[in-house]
Amino acid sequence: MLSVHTSPLHQPGTGDAGGMNVYMVELSRALAREGARVDLFTRCLGEDRPARVELASGVRVLHLAAGPRRPLPKEAMPGLVPDFARSLLAATAHSRYDVVHSHYWLAGQAGARVAGRRHIPLVHTMHTLARVKNASLAPGDRPEPELRVRGEAALARAADRLIANTVEEQVALRELYGADADRTDVVTPGVDVRIFRPADGRRAARARLGLPQDGFIPLFAGRIQPLKGPDVLLHSVAALLRDSPGLRGRLLVPVVGGLSGAGTRLPDELRDLGARLGLGDVVRFQAAAPQRELADWYRAADVLVMPSRSESFGLVALESQACGTPVLAAAVGGLPAAVRDEVTGLLVPGHDPDDYARRLRWFAEHPARAAAMGRAAAGHARRLDWRSTARGTLGSYARALRDRSSKAGQERRHVPAPAAASSRRCKRAAVPA
């Protein structure tokens, strides 16, 4: 497995680490439990981590030299792809792999080069799509570059198999990128119900986190960037208090996560917005939390709010539901697949704060019905586990190997290199075979 721009070891909810990081880690562990051996290759960032990290039995994270050993913005990453591919070829010169599975378009570019040289199939998961994101940008947000659009289109043609999280993503790949539906497999992500579960309930979770037992607590959890819509949440809370001022005394809105993407350009923007809206006594900003603590935040909340402008699936929604907490989410991307409208949560068409405010008021005024949604949510999430995801992924690998075998001797489809200059290469790290 390949990830160029973010490491499976990074804390989700910070920087470029999010659902994709969780996906790679949990899928790899589940694949290993099904009998596979998985090596996750990522870029060395000079974080004093060893060249090889044993993530689980049968799963290793291997760090490759590609450019300077420090974090870089995504905009600089295309120039590192050739270096990453060369390091990967050197590190795997004496190893045998059956499949290359790349995550996000940057890793796909490197994966295509390596899979071609090794004569093994390339399976690719996009995770997000530039054309989908660009169609739903927040005001003032930067569109994804044309270089990425072209890179994704090339991968849609070149990968032996594409894995989409939902049928909606499969359709977007076909309609926006010309991907062949016969080479696109829909494999739904899962949730770790050993960590994300109702456990000892809301009161105990609130006690551990120091939250008021009688509070009404809508939660935001995830990376703080315009794409995730935290500004929509704050405007919604302001509208809620305008129409229901009596809620102020018991309303608390935790925002759990770190700055990411466009959010890092104006790091105080969300806090400043909260202050301008008069929410300084209501909104509490919390750093991104490890999974076991994050599960307590889900359990403690009355509802998780996800006003995302784009979402390939929304693992956060699944985690919250697994903890018995319903979800109020935008009806975009994969969220309608993750959340059963009016059963495990409520879906909102669009991003009008007044629409979210009305639904937040419903959760505040109907705690018994919201609790019933939470119970249904926990049952819904239990049926979506990583074992099923791993088995679906293994099926995609098998089809890729079968298709590759049937095309033996044919010239592999070509993926053009990104049109950017390569950054200065750092000293290569020794990677054990």
Q: What is the pLDDT of residues 194-217, one digit of tens each?
A: 999 999 999 999 999 999 999 999
Handedness of CA 314, 316, 318, 321 (dihedral sign): negative
Q: Kindly state the average pLDDT of the residues 153-157.
A: 96
pLDDT of 431 above 90: no
What contacts 186, CB < 8 A, 6 or more positions away? 163, 164, 165, 166, 167, 169, 170
148 annotated as belonging to a binding site for a ligand: yes
Q: What are the structure tokens assigned to 341, written together?
A: 């409208």
pLDDT of 428 above 50: no
DSSP string, 131-163: HHHHTTPPTTPPPPPHHHHHHHHHHHHH-SEEE
240 vs 74: CA distance, rounded Å: 37
What contacts 374, CB < 8 A, 6 or more positions away? 198, 321, 324, 325, 326
43 - beta bridge partners?
A: 64
- Check: CB of residue 162 under 8 Å from CB of residue 125: yes
- Check: CB of residue 385 under 8 Å from CB of residue 193: yes
Give the largest CA-CA distance in the chain: 72
pLDDT of 362 above 50: yes
In this prediction, residue 262 carries a pLDDT of 55
pLDDT tens digits, one per residue of 291-347: 999 999 999 999 999 999 999 888 999 999 999 999 999 999 899 999 999 999 999
20 annotated as belonging to a binding site for a ligand: yes
85 vs 43: CA distance, rounded Å: 11
Segments in 201-334 forming alpha helices (H): 201-209, 230-243, 269-276, 291-300, 315-322
17 annotated as belonging to a binding site for a ligand: yes
pLDDT tens digits, one per residue of 378-403: 999 999 999 999 999 999 999 999 98
The residue among 245, 359, 247 whose CA lies nearest residue 303 is 359
Q: How many residues does the chain have?
A: 433
The residue among 127, 302, 314 whose CA lies nearest residue 228 is 314
Handedness of CA 37, 42, 45, 51 (dihedral sign): positive
348 vs 40: CA distance, rounded Å: 37
pLDDT tens digits, one per residue of 40-92: 999 987 667 778 899 999 999 999 988 888 878 778 889 999 999 999 999 99
pLDDT tens digits, one per residue of 252-297: 999 999 876 655 555 688 999 999 999 999 999 999 899 999 999 9
- The residue written with tokens 């109020």 in the block is 328
Crossing angle of helices 291-300/201-209, nearest 10°?
Answer: 120
170 annotated as belonging to a binding site for a ligand: no
311 annotated as belonging to a binding site for a ligand: yes
Q: Kindly state the average pLDDT of the residues 144-153.
A: 95
- Number of Cβ atoms within 10 Å of the Cβ of 382: 14
262 annotated as belonging to a binding site for a ligand: no
128 annotated as belonging to a binding site for a ligand: yes
407 annotated as belonging to a binding site for a ligand: no
In this prediction, residue 413 carries a pLDDT of 55
In this prediction, residue 49 carries a pLDDT of 74
11 annotated as belonging to a binding site for a ligand: yes
The residue among 323, 262, 248, 319 whose CA lies nearest residue 133 is 262
Q: What are the structure tokens assigned to 148, written together?
A: 């990425």
In this prediction, residue 139 carries a pLDDT of 82
19 annotated as belonging to a binding site for a ligand: yes
Q: What domains does the chain contain, in order, with CATH numbers?
A: 2-190+386-406 (3.40.50.2000), 201-382 (3.40.50.2000)
7 vs 3: CA distance, rounded Å: 7
Q: What is the mean pLDDT of the chain?
A: 89
228 annotated as belonging to a binding site for a ligand: yes
The residue among 153, 124, 119, 148 whose CA lies nearest residue 134 is 148
319 annotated as belonging to a binding site for a ligand: yes
pLDDT tens digits, one per residue of 160-178: 999 999 999 999 999 999 9
164 - beta bridge partners?
A: 186
